[in-house]
């Protein structure tokens, strides 16, 4: 199958349409004295939308994305988009890094250059990677599946096919959120192809073996419990997207303000910051970074199709259930991640070789804490070179 060079190019008419829609936004009321507890805070959203309409430079962000080598190729009836940035170091490790929801390839734009050319960014040339960053099916610049059943396992097989088409017989994988889930399925199907798996969202249930289950420390169990309790109030979106994503889509597909509110709430709630009015999202992400990601969803019209992965995951069981990941695994544990498993549980689920408890950071680790994330990738894969 053909691999075709790709460049992002949003027509000016779509930029004009976006500004017109933003100028005519009708926002809901908000109860006086409330902040983010009901959802996205109105004052913050008004500020973000005003910036999007008057100051945000999509063309600059478009050029930033187009500075990378991008391609498309058809896999399993979907035109897949991906960045493929090769290092000049012939010994570089091929690394596929996979985003989740509500993220995109934009999460990785700052870390791809130092991964590909570490010597130019204060690192060691021996730490170089060839980086492959796909847009998941139904996300960003990839095509939208026109059939049921594109669950995480099926997407994992598509990504394996992509790496095979690129000529990589052996490679590494990394990611969080759906990227972490998809990568587990990839490792479950093709462990022999993988050099290693790095995850910033380790998924591990309590082990059946009582002795191993009880090896979790009280501090770890307290953190696991605290994150689980916190997420009870943060998973309404999962119920909607896992059951009736199409209904949600009618509102979001027609409203850039709706898309921004739906996405930015997750960045607020899953970031290592106070969740009340004292928390300031601008201290962790620039508006340009937030709006680049949001704009990708808006201009590609993929906010609805991206949510269907929740429905497919819920309604299309995996053909090959995951029991144990027999691939060398490295874990980066950020304190505000939405799920944190104790190390003993992870050791029962993965061939765990590397475990870093981070001093700060949350769910969108590569964007929120790029240096910590980048350095952990390097440290883990040094063990496997």
Q: What share of the chain is helix, strand, coil (3-state, %, to 5)?
A: 45, 15, 40
Q: How many of the other CB atoms lie within 10 Å of CB of 27?
A: 11
Do residues 355 and 331 lie in contact, with contact meaning Cβ atoms separated by under 8 Å? yes
Residue 158, classed as helix, strand or coil, is helix
171 in active site: no
Which residues are paired to 132 by β-bridges? 84, 96
Quick one: CA dihedral 40, 42, 43, 44, positive or negative? positive
Do residues 74 and 80 lie in contact, with contact meaning Cβ atoms separated by under 8 Å? yes
Residue 120, classed as helix, strand or coil, is helix
Three-state SS annotation for 220-266: HHHHHHHHHHHHCCCCHHHHHHHHCHHHHHHHHCCCHHHHHHHHHHH
Both tokens assigned to 334: 């950020």
| DSSP secondary structure of 14-25 | HHHHHHHHHHT-
| DSSP secondary structure of 32-89 | TT--STTSS-HHHHHHHHHHHHHT--HHHHHHHHHTS-EEEEEETTEEEEEEEE--S-
The one catalytic residue in 268, 297, 363, 373 is 363
29 in active site: no
Instruction: Report the half-sphere exposure of 270 (CA within 13 A, side-chain side).
Output: 24
The one catalytic residue in 117, 127, 177, 376 is 177
- Residues 6 or more apart whose CB falls under 8 angstroms from that of 214 comprise none
- Residues 6 or more apart whose CB falls under 8 angstroms from that of 33 comprise none
Do residues 125 and 90 lie in contact, with contact meaning Cβ atoms separated by under 8 Å? no
How far is it, in rounded angstroms, from Cα 308 to Cα 315? 10
177 in active site: yes
The one catalytic residue in 310, 311, 350, 373 is 310
Annotated catalytic residues are 177, 310, 363
């Amino acid at each position: 199958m053909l691999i075709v060079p790709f460049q992002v190019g949003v027509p000016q008419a779509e930029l004009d349409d976006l500004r017109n829609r933003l100028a005519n936004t009708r926002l809901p009321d908000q109860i006086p004295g409330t902040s983010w507890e009901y959802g996205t805070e109105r004052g913050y959203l008004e500020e973000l939308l005003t910036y999007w309409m008057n100051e945000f430079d999509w063309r600059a962000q478009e050029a930033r994305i187009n500075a990378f080598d991008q391609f498309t190729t058809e896999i399993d009836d979907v035109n897949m988009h991906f960045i493929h940035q090769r290092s000049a170091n012939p010994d570089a490790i091929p690394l596929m890094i996979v985003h989740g929801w509500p993220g995109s390839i934009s999460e990785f734009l700052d870390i791809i250059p130092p991964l590909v050319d570490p010597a130019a960014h204060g690192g060691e040339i021996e730490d170089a990677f060839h980086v492959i960053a796909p847009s998941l099916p139904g996300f960003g610049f990839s095509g939208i599946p026109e059939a049921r059943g594109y669950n995480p396992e099926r997407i994992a097989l598509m990504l394996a096919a992509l790496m095979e088409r690129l000529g990589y017989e052996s490679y590494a994988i990394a990611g969080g959120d759906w990227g972490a889930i998809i990568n587990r399925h990839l490792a479950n199907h093709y462990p022999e192809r993988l050099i290693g798996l790095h995850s910033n969202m380790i998924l591990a249930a309590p082990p059946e073996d009582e002795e191993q289950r009880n090896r979790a420390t009280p501090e770890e169990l307290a953190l696991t419990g605290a994150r689980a309790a916190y997420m009870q109030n943060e998973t309404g979106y999962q119920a909607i997207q896992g059951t009736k994503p199409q209904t949600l889509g009618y509102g979001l597909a027609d409203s850039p303000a709706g898309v921004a509110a739906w996405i930015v709430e997750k960045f607020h709630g899953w970031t290592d910051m106070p969740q009340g009015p004292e928390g300031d999202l601008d201290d962790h992400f620039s508006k340009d970074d937030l709006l680049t990601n949001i704009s990708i969803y808006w201009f590609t019209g993929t906010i609805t199709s991206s949510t269907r992965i929740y429905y497919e995951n819920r309604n299309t069981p995996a053909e090959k259930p995951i029991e144990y990941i027999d691939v060398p695994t490295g874990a980066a544990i950020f304190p505000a991640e939405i799920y944190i498993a104790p190390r003993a549980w992870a050791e029962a689920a993965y061939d765990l070789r590397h475990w870093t408890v981070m001093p700060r950071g949350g769910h969108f680790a590569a964007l929120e804490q790029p240096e910590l994330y980048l350095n952990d990738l390097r440290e883990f894969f040094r063990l496997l070179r």
